[in-house]
Structure 1
Amino acid sequence: MSDSAPTATPDRPGALPAQSPPVDPAVTGAVGKGPGHGSGGTGRLSWWRGDGGEGARRNLALIGVLVVLILIGIATRPDLYGDSGWVWNNILTILKLASVVGVVTVGMTFVIIGGGIDLSVGAIVALAGVWSTTLATQSYGAGGMIFTALLVGLCVGLVNGLLISYGRLVPFIATLAMMVAARGLAAQISGKQTQVSDNATINGIASTDLLGIPLLVYILAAVVVAGWVLLNRTTFGRRTVAVGGNPEAARLAGINVRWHTVLLYALSGLCCGIAAVMLTAQATSAQAAMANLYELDAIAAAIIGGTLLSGGRGTIVGSLLGVIIFSTITNLFAINGLSTEAQNMVKGGIIVAAVLVQQFQFRSLTQFLSRNRLTTG
């Protein structure tokens, strides 16, 4: 028996017309969702709202969390917050702290919206950083180092996507295996030693300021803007929402779901390559253990920002706010002399709380739709 879609015949009312081409959701909006439901939404949505009124409320709530954190900082260290110069420098410190993880989070947001997960991002950053700081690579100058980092990140991301889409591996398993393999390869390349970056141009990326703002912050801003445009103003973004929301419906609508998934993981890998250059510049070195637990930070920031773990919804602005919240928490712990262990416990609690809120919202929506069907039926 053929698995193809039924053709229109007189005795099969409601069957698909034989000559009707598939309807691409890039034109009509995300498959299975009304306009503006997902991050793709429609071209009329503002950058702030992202996915409609719900997105605006969520972003305002995140701003509220930031305000609370600032008030906690003022209450615990009034001596520091009383100095306006220190406050401005501290804001720049938080943004600089958020820059590297923020770039990784942009790629992670695309993957999660598309219905996947990437546990290998930290390892990809490490591998790209180590490979770009070998003596052979450094001999080609800053351009060669940057190109190598981006290429390594892109290629590893492609491998992830191919394993998941065409190897039919579960994203969790495929990227977990890549996490182990990439760190192992990074350790092999570096001989388990720290590789020092001798390139002044690369190292200067972390120490250069433009108009009093670190260059790393500008790089983060550029990646965020590019990610927002790609997600909200292009066919690629609308297809990403469609694939994550309902992959089968997206396939029937004419989207090559497998290849699109490959591209999502390649994009995540490319973001990791950019982050590797930034992190190498900050440390003026690279090693196999760098970017440890970046996957946790990126996933947590995306979830806090409103990205559904089940896929189909999320915003770049929300993810950015999530990164800034975690960076502010890190900064708050640092100025109060609290341990990294306590910080990680707080992060874990926030992640659990965010997932519980998502589950509650999903159950509420499901019950609402069920009641509507019963009423209209």
Structure 2
Amino acid sequence: MNTSEEKVPRRPVPAGAGRAPAHAPAPETPGPPPSRTPAVRGRLRARADVRNLSLLGVLAALVAVGALTRPEQFLSVQNLQLVLTQASVIGVVTVGVTFVIIGGGIDLSVGATVALATVWATTVATQEYRLGGILLCALLVGLGCGLVNGLLVAFGGMVPFIATLAMLAAARGLALQISQGGTQIVSVPSVLDLGRRDAYVLGVPPIVLVFAAVTVTGWLLLNRTTFGRRTVAVGGNPEAARLAGIDVRRQRLLLYLLSGLCCGIAAFLLIVLTGSGQNTNGNLYELDAIAAAIIGGTLLSGGRGTVTGSVLGVLVFTTITNLFALNNLETAVQQIAKGAIIVVAVLVQKGHKS
């Protein structure tokens, strides 16, 4: 018996339907939503500008108070030079501390590092190498302390607070041992000449010029280089920075090296300013630097901060100290005022973060 196959009608297939066109576009895959990073950066930049303007307002108010209470003394050229000179040493330290805090760390050893660098650089053996030897020694001591801090934090896994606290104690002890508790007088004329009025450039002390150069360099490093962007990334979210290909440990090591370098520069400026080295130098510099960075808008948790704000914070604190000295007010009241300013700055930061 013959079986007949049932024929099913087929629709005609257009030519070329079985293969993709030679120049057909690839199918679109849903990508991530557009990033809001530029908008966030814009808001943070605007907020930083507002904070800096506020600090300028505070500084202007302090100048007005000085002009009203002690116009002849406060507004004199000599006093303004003194304020800028006093702000220069702690200001250089603050620039380095600002980078460390933005990177998510803390450095409590900056004052002790400055003391150790001044003592080591003013020994009789070091002074035999004249100005170059003193400067190089101060820089190397600062870098050495920063290197130890960086290795302990980045590669040793120690908490920055503990590591730098240990360095604080060790550096103070070593400075005391080297100086034997005494004051080492500098006898190198080329170093002492830098602190005299004959060396002023258009009425500006060389120490202030160095401070200005460090400030500009720090601003460019933070805002115009990959190093600055990596610092913010590591401080904001270390794990995300690691996944993005950033060597977090190396970055933290570099940050502490930068802080140590700033301490070495500040130590040399202090030697020029005082003409001596002693183990009590740099006392409470760590607190002044951290406080200046905080009121300048640097977050203690890391990930945000500006060099400009930190420098303005240094100028505010230095001006307050000068005003209290000119008006013969007690040091205790000055410390209370500084503490109140720090508390207000932290509360303002907390409000912005919320």
TM range (shorter): 0.7 to 0.9
1:105-128 Cα deviation digits (max 9, x unpaired): 000000000001100000000001
The reply on whether 1:70 has 2:63 as its aligned counterpart is: yes
Residue in structure 2 matched with residue 261 of structure 1 by the alignment: 252
Deviations 1:194-246 (A, max 9, x none): 11111111222222311111111100000001101111111100000000011
Partner of 1:52: 45
Question: For the Cα contact (< 8 Å) 1:121–1:295, is it kept in 2?
Answer: yes
Cα distance in 1 for residues equivalent to 2:79 and 2:249: 44
CA apart distance, 1:52 = 1.5
Kindly provide the amino acid, as one letter, of the partner of residue 350 in structure 2. Q
- What amino acid is the match of 1:205? L
Aligned to 2:37: 34
Deviation at 1:339, TM superposition (A): 2.1
Residue 164 of structure 2 is matched in structure 1 by 175
Contact map agreement 1:36 1:52 (CA 8 A) in 2: no
Which residue number corresponds to residue 280 of structure 1? 271
Aligned 8 A contact 2:102 2:303 in 1: yes
* Matches of 1:33 and 1:112, distance apart in 2: 25
What residue identity is the alignment partner of 1:34? Answer: T
Give, in angstroms, the shift of residue 342 of structure 1.
Answer: 1.9
Q: Which residue of 1 aligns with 2:84?
A: 95
Structure 2: distance between partners of 1:341 and 1:251: 46
Gaps of 5+ in 1: 1-12, 17-31, 364-377
Gaps of at least 5 residues in structure 2 are 1-28
The residue that corresponds to 1:371 in the other structure is none
Aligned twin of 2:25: none
Max Rg structure: 2
Whole-angstrom CA distance in 2 between matches of 1:78 and 1:244: 44
2:294 alignment partner AA = I
**CA 1:300–1:36: 2 relative to 1, 3 Å:** farther
The yes-or-no answer on 1:216 pairing with 2:207 is: yes
Give secondary structure in 2 for the equivalent of 1:314.
coil
Return the match for 1:186 from 175, 183, 188.
175
Deviations 1:79-101 (A, max 9, x none): 546xxxx4333222211110000
1:130 is matched by which residue type in structure 2? V
Separation of aligned partners in 2, 1:78 and 1:129: 36
What is the rounded CA distance, in whole Å, between the counterparts of 2:337 and 2:148 in structure 1?
34
Tell me if 1:111 matches 2:100: yes
Structure 1-normalised TM-score? 0.82
- 1:316 is matched with which residue? 307
Q: Deviations over 1:314-368 (max 9, x none)?
A: 11111110000001001100110112222122112211221121112212xxxxx
The CA distance in 2 between the partners of 1:78 and 1:197, in whole Å, is 36
Find the aligned partners of 2:169 and 2:100 in 1 and give their Cα distance: 19
Q: Judge conservation of contact 1:205–1:278 (CA < 8 Å) in 2.
A: no
Distance in 1, Cα, partners of 2:258 & 2:73? 40
- Matching of residues 191-270 of structure 1 within 5 Å: 191-207=180-196, 208-270=199-261
Is residue 2:287 matched to residue 1:296? yes
Q: What letter matches 2:51 in structure 1?
A: R
Give yes or no for contact 2:131–2:191 (8 Å, CA) kept in 1.
yes
Distance in 2 of aligned mates of 1:136 and 1:67? 46
SS in structure 1 at match of 2:76:
helix
Distance in 2 between residues matched to 1:139 and 1:297, nearest whole Å: 33
Q: Please give the alpha-carbon distance, in whole angstroms, between the structure 2 residues aligned to 1:291 and 1:297.
A: 10
Compute the displacement of 1:76 (Å).
2.1
Conserved in 2, the CA contact under 8 Å of 1:157 and 1:269? yes
Residues 87 and 276 (structure 1 numbering): CA distance in 2 closer, same or farther, change over 3 Å?
A: same
Query: Is the partner of 1:213 in helix, strand or coil?
Result: coil
Determine what percentage of the aligned residue pairs are the same residue: 60
Name the CA shift for 1:277/1:241 in 2 (closer, same or farther; >3 Å).
Answer: same
1:108 and 1:268 in contact (8 A); partners too: yes
Q: How many corresponding residue pairs?
A: 322
Comparing 337-346 with 249-258, which one deviates more in the overlay? 337-346
- Aligned equivalents of 2:36, 2:269: Cα separation in 1: 37
Q: Are the aligned partners of 1:113 and 1:308 in contact in 2 as well (CA < 8 Å)?
A: yes
Deviating 4+ runs (over 6 angstroms) = none
Matched residue, 1:333: 324
SS at 1:52's partner residue? Answer: helix
Residues 321-330 or 333-342, more deviating: 333-342
Amino acid at match of 2:139: L
What is residue 305 of structure 1 aligned with on the other side?
A: 296
